[in-house]
Amino acid sequence: MTKRKSLLRLTATAVAIAGAFTLVSSAVLAEDKPAIEVITHAGAGGGTDVNSRMMMLRSRRTLGQDMVVVNKRGGGGAAAMNYFMTRPADGNSVLTFTVGHAISMASGKTKLTVADMAPLARGTNDPQILMVNCKTSPYKTPEDFVNGMKAGDELKFGGTSTGTIDHLTVYLWAKRLGVDMPTYIPFKGGGELATQLVAGSVDVGTLNLSEAAAPVEAGDICPLVVLAENGMAPIPAAKSSKELGIDLILSTTRGFVTHAGVDEARRQELEDGMLKAMDHSMYQAYLVNSGLDATSPQSSDAWGKQIESMVAEFGPALKEMGLIK
């Protein structure tokens, strides 16, 4: 069975289990506590929705409190963030915060600020990876690739739509190397991009490992640079940006926040409950089947710093790219 089929099966199972658990939760959880709203910007079955439900599976038990998903779609996460702002700071509202939310905040699409949020825990972290065609690319090592760009090689980079994390990644990568923004070709999604990288339509693909697992395993696509503190075990030939001495860490990431005004004891209770839930074998299996590992869940301290870094980095970059005023 392919990883994609495994993930689809796990996704369907997760949603089904989460739904079944919700039906019985009122009978087994503390009746004097209101349900925690977990607010997402994704529709039912989307990646962020599934991640939220996987966290909730065991968090209901660790917190002794029911949890319900509230889907608020629209505006690149702005609708969800704006709804979150209307909820009381009583510790019974949680926002699933993603890299897309950070871009929307940096773009001024919402009045929500970093100061309005109290980080709880990170749920998933899928580093951005720069990949090439193994058979046709002149770059056989990460160092070859970096040196080629610094020397002025003209390359076509592929990613998803304009203004996304992929677009920002290419701009910031070029900026860190001191070169002009390369040609950027947007595609509908990671699957299409991986296919076009194999076909030779672009020289470099900005991908997550989960998006390109099959062609990487087949030896068609070679990951060169992982934009992270450390490399990744499944792709040992790739080096992290930190190993290469390049200060750029970017990921497709999801995690959870509550309101800044929530009592610290309650905030800590939520963090502890979520981290314990995500340490459970069921959530860990979800990570593995998503192409991730046990380093994805992180505490509020690390998650909060990552949120601050993303918003601070994206705002100036979007202005320099001419995407916002």
Averaged pLDDT of the chain:
91
Q: Determine the pLDDT at residue 38.
A: 98
Distance between CA atoms of 219 and 135, rounded to whole angstroms? 9
Q: Which domains are delineated in the chain? A: 3-125+254-307 (3.40.190.150), 129-240 (3.40.190.10)
Per-residue pLDDT at 5: 40
* Residue type at 69 in one-letter notation: V
Give Cβ neighbours of residue 263 (< 8 Å, ≥ 6 apart): 91
Instruction: Tally the C-alpha atoms within 13 A of residue 219's C-alpha that lie toward its C-beta.
Output: 1
pLDDT at 29: 57
Contacts of 176 (CB under 8 A, 6+ apart): 246, 247, 248
pTM: 0.87
What pLDDT score does 18 carry?
47
In the chain (325 residues long), the average pLDDT of successive 10-residue segments reads 40 48 46 90 88 96 96 93 97 97 96 97 97 97 98 97 96 98 96 96 95 93 96 94 96 97 98 98 93 93 97 96 94
User: What local confidence, expressed as pLDDT, does residue 291 receive?
Assistant: 82
DSSP annotation string for 135-165:
TT-S--SHHHHHHHHHTT---EEEESSTTSH
Residue 31: its pLDDT value, please? 64
Bridge partners, residue 133, by sequence:
221
The pLDDT of residue 46 is 83
Asked whether the beta carbons of 55 and 124 are under 8 A apart, the reply is no
Residue 4 pLDDT: 38
Task: Name the residue with tokens 């993603």.
Answer: 98
